[in-house]
Amino acid sequence: MAIGLLIIGDEILSGKRADRHLAKLIELLSTRGMQLSWAEYIGDDPARITATLQRSFASRDIVFSCGGIGATPDDHTRRCAAAALGLPLVLHPGAKEKIQERIADMARTEGKEPQLDAPENLHRLKMGEFPQGAQLIPNPYNKIPGFSIAHPEEGAHYFLPGFPVMAGPMMEWVLDTIYPHLFHKSTNIEKSVFTLNAMESALTPLMEQIEAEFGLVKVFSLPHVGDARTEAHIELGVKGDSIQVESAFQTLLSGLDARHVRYRMSL
């Protein structure tokens, strides 16, 4: 199962807010020996959100979706998820309970009695309307839950708020509660060098040779233009299956030596 991330909201694409979900998920996965496979940013366009979810629901991926699950007019994710699945939106009884708990907590903080049937509080219950059959994701920050949709065979979608202070702990809960069996299962490793006197075009044939010879290895090339403190260089490396990476790396070094390319080992 690949792991993906959807980040939904015009505020990210316009630059009003900087995305922090991507870095957080990469961090959480890395500490558990896991890796993010893909990520997409989507604006508040219902048709595009629905089409994207239809495509990702058809996969077996583990997908985290952040943003758009509130109850204001620009929050489309809950409705789009239901449309993508062909399911009705229904008020989840557990979500209703948690939302009403939050309403009561807020009222007590203000020294008031909660008015659960007040129009604004009835509107807040829309945050608990999820595609039929959804499961809850607890929110330790303010109790308003997210929701998940399991795929028929494997994988699932996890829908979280757009606020990183909420989404981060909820991502962590999903990983630690549902996927501990996947922690540190990967046997992939990465090895690289910094080449100091070569152009990418001159190194491309060597890179193509390595990928053709080692089917479980990917080659990567990351040029650095250099600055006052750092010499211009290319980080050239191989990543993938731990056994093949060792052999591929030796082939890489031999190829660089044969081409009289200066290099130093990366840390």
Residue 227: which CATH number? Answer: 3.30.70.1130
Residue 1 clears pLDDT 80, i.e. is over it: no
Pair (171, 216) in one structural domain? no
Q: In the prediction, which pLDDT does 226 show?
A: 83
- Rounded distance between C-alpha atoms, residue 93 and residue 136, angstroms: 10
> In terms of domains, do 118 and 239 share one?
no
Q: Pick from 182, 211, 231: which residue ends a domain?
A: 182
**Assigned token pair, 183:** 């922690």
Q: Rounded mean pLDDT of 154-166?
A: 97
Judgement on whether residues 52 and 124 belong to the same structural domain of the protein: yes
Q: Are residues 19 and 142 in the same domain?
A: yes
Mean pLDDT computed over 7-13 = 97
> Residue 237: which domain range?
188-265
pTM: 0.88
Would you state the structure tokens that stand for residue 136, as one six-digit string? 């809850």
Percent of the chain predicted with pLDDT > 90: 92
d(C-alpha 149, C-alpha 67), whole Å: 16
Tens digit of each residue's pLDDT (9 = 90 or more) over 192-235: 999 998 999 999 999 999 999 999 999 999 999 888 888 899 99
Q: Are residues 23 and 49 in the same domain?
A: yes
Strands (DSSP E) contained in the chain are: 3-8, 38-42, 62-66, 89-91, 129-131, 135-137, 146-150, 156-160, 188-195, 217-224, 233-241, 263-265
Say if residue 7's pLDDT is above 80.
yes
